[in-house]
Structure 1
């Protein structure tokens, strides 16, 4: 994953770098230092972002389902 792809994924998920750091426990400076050559983005980040997206979808679906069940 390239840095531009990472930034785009964060934007799609409505996350800031700081949000990502808070959720993953990473230091902001570590994430800010990721680049495409000397310090590439770790391979686990792509799957983490995908799982976060699925989790958000599940949570939103659950809330809507619960609203529907109350009616």
Structure 2
């Protein structure tokens, strides 16, 4: 993924580079240095895709919990 796409995706997910680095166990300066290569490592694309899916699922589950009713007899 090119750096512009990476930065756009982080913005869409409301993540900073520092937060991203902490989440993936990377050194912040290492993430910033990807700019010199012009692209991210190959694993970043799938990681961001999975993070987005997970975040969406968490949001959906929170909405469902608001309307969840206890089942009688359990």
> TM-score, normalising length from structure 1?
0.90
Structure 1 alignment gaps of length 5 or more = none
CA-CA distance at 1:38 after TM superposition: 3.6
Structure 2 alignment gaps of length 5 or more = 70-74
> Residue 17 of structure 1 aligns with which residue?
17
Structure 1 vs Structure 2 CA RMSD? 1.7
Alpha-carbon distance in 2 for matches of 1:3, 1:39: 6
Q: Pick the structure with greater CA Rg.
A: 2
> TM-score, normalising length from structure 2?
0.86
SS in structure 2 at match of 1:42: coil
CA-CA distance at 1:41 after TM superposition: 1.1
